[in-house]
Amino acid sequence: MAIKTQPLEVRWNPEQPIEGVTHMGEPGTDPAVLSEIREIRERLGRDLVLLGHYYQRDEVIQFADKTGDSLALSQHAAQVDGAKYVIFLGVHFMAETADMLTSDAVNVILPDKRAGCTMADMAQIEDVEDTWEQLGGVIDTSKVVPVTYINSTADVKAFVGRHGGTICTSSNARKIITWALEKGERLFFFPDQHLGRNTSYDLGIPLEKMAVWNPEEPMGGNESEQIVRARVLLWRGHCSVHQHFTPEQADGWRKRIPEIKIVVHPECSFEVVQKADYSGSTSQIIKTIAESPSGSKWAVGTENHLVARIGREMAGQGKEVYSLAPYACLCSTMFRISPEALLESLRALEKGEFRWHISVDPDTTREANLALDRMFEITKRGNLASVP
């Protein structure tokens, strides 16, 4: 039976203050906490750089020196110069990546060490190694190019580094997958099956040429012929936030507001992306709506703190921005970076202590940086060749 969804009217009041009550209706932070953060931040001056992902709550992201999507934040980390500390207002894999991209003189801090990413946790290095070995029994893995989404652990990044592969983010996935399919006969993509499928399909690879690898089953749950036939092997991972968006929600919005445009993150399912007018990374979503004509109406399929912020910022241009889902899709791990956790990290830094220090060992860093350097180099390239 088809699920009937009733789109919820979620509009944001641009006048609502940041202190006191948050835009998401969460209990507000004690203004004393925010003032102390400001004071310590000021005292630490140029020794400290704060990098913040768009999914952070407003009360936290207001302190970021640089905000961005995963690609921009890794580029900012690679350019940190002269600072002693980076506080990452994001999740664990982002802080690990920043540690690998900064010099040994820079210490990277994640204010809550429980701020992981459920998707990154779905590809454990032991399972990835085991998959590679199993694949080697059926196909020639020297002709398979492994690509990991940046939402992965440092040791998984090191794996792709030592196997001639690379890393992608949602904003450069087209370029990276094109590169991988030019370089090898097949692509092995993990952990997000949706980004891999949506991008490969967009590049002209039919669904019949893709196979899903379930790490919990022998041969990933496939017959050997399915693997041999596949051009793209997709790890069975997903984002717990973006899996909540459904094609029925898109239908509901179009019925209710026929002129509405739908934009979603490519971590959404294939069916949702096919229903959308546009799909792209967080920064591409922001840009798409910012460049739309005034008065346009949008339903957005991504994390709600970002959707709420876009809605507030665009309200002045007469644009209406709604969440695609009829309920709040929050990234609960991003949410763990609270103002209180940030304050604790700052207080610790002033005492010369790290709360929490994210440090990747030198061997893993060296191999993962091979893959990150390849990613930066491919991202800089000009026009895309068509997929061979």
Q: Does 262 bind ligand SF4 (CB under 6 A)?
A: no
What are the b/e assignments for 343-360, b being 16+ CB within 10 Å? bbbbebbeeeebbbbbbb
Of 7-15, 99-107, 123-131, 165-173, which segment contacts ligand 13P by CB under 6 A?
Answer: 165-173
Is there a contact between 60 and 339 (Cβ–Cβ < 8 Å)? yes
Q: For residues 148 and 159, what is the distance between their CA atoms, to the nearest angstrom? A: 9
- Residue 314 is encoded by which pair of tokens? 């665009």
Angle among Cα 208, 211, 212 to the nearest 5 degrees reads 135
Q: For residues 252 and 255, what is the distance between their CA atoms, to the nearest angstrom? A: 5
* DSSP-derived 3-state class of residue 130: helix
Neighbour tally for 97: CB within 10 Å? 29
Q: For residues 342 and 81, what is the distance between their CA atoms, to the nearest angstrom? A: 22
Q: Does 152 bind ligand 13P (CB under 6 A)?
A: no
Q: Does 379 bind ligand 13P (CB under 6 A)?
A: no
Q: For residues 137 and 132, what is the distance between their CA atoms, to the nearest angstrom? A: 9
Q: Does 303 bind ligand SF4 (CB under 6 A)?
A: yes
Q: Does 83 bind ligand SF4 (CB under 6 A)?
A: no
Q: Which of 153, 170, 198, 222 binds ligand 13P (CB under 6 A)?
A: 170
- Residue 15 is encoded by which pair of tokens? 């006048």
Choose between 59 and 267: whose C-beta lies nearer to ligand 13P.
267
Q: For residues 176 and 384, what is the distance between their CA atoms, to the nearest angstrom? A: 10
Q: Which of 117, 128, 187, 232 binds ligand SF4 (CB under 6 A)?
A: 117
Q: Does 70 bind ligand 13P (CB under 6 A)?
A: yes
* Least distance in angstroms from the C-beta of 91 to ligand SF4: 5
* Least distance in angstroms from the C-beta of 88 to ligand 13P: 12
What's at 92, amino acid-wise? H
Q: Does 282 bind ligand 13P (CB under 6 A)?
A: yes
Q: Does 155 bind ligand SF4 (CB under 6 A)?
A: no
Q: Does 169 bind ligand 13P (CB under 6 A)?
A: yes
Give the number of residues in contact with ligand 13P, rule: CB under 6 A: 11
Q: Does 334 bind ligand SF4 (CB under 6 A)?
A: yes
Of 30-38, 313-321, 329-337, 348-356, which segment contacts ligand SF4 by CB under 6 A?
Answer: 329-337
* Least distance in angstroms from the C-beta of 276 to ligand 13P: 15
* Least distance in angstroms from the C-beta of 139 to ligand 13P: 30
What's at 175, amino acid-wise? K
* Least distance in angstroms from the C-beta of 151 to ligand SF4: 5
* Least distance in angstroms from the C-beta of 281 to ligand SF4: 11
Q: Residue 249 binds what, of ligand 13P, ligand SF4, none (CB under 5 to 8 Å, by partner type)?
A: none
- Please name the residue ranges forming H helices in the chain: 31-44, 58-61, 70-78, 92-101, 118-121, 125-136, 154-162, 173-183, 193-202, 224-229, 247-256, 270-275, 282-290, 304-315, 339-350, 362-380
- For residues 236-265, which are near ligand 13P according to CB under 6 A? 239
Q: Which of 241, 260, 286, 349 binds ligand SF4 (CB under 6 A)?
A: 241
Strands of the sheet with 232-235, listed across from one edge: 166-168, 144-149, 186-190, 232-235, 210-213
* Least distance in angstroms from the C-beta of 244 to ligand SF4: 10
Of 27-35, 168-176, 199-207, 364-372, which segment contacts ligand 13P by CB under 6 A?
Answer: 168-176
Q: Does 193 bind ligand SF4 (CB under 6 A)?
A: no
Q: Does 333 bind ligand 13P (CB under 6 A)?
A: no
Q: Which of 58, 59, 69, 96 binds ligand 13P (CB under 6 A)?
A: 69
Q: Does 199 bind ligand 13P (CB under 6 A)?
A: no
Q: For residues 55 and 265, what is the distance between their CA atoms, to the nearest angstrom? A: 12
- Residue 10 is encoded by which pair of tokens? 């979620």
> What is the crossing angle of helices 70-78 and 92-101, to 10°?
30
- Residues within the interface to ligand SF4 (CB under 6 A): 91, 117-119, 151, 239-241, 267, 303, 331, 333-334
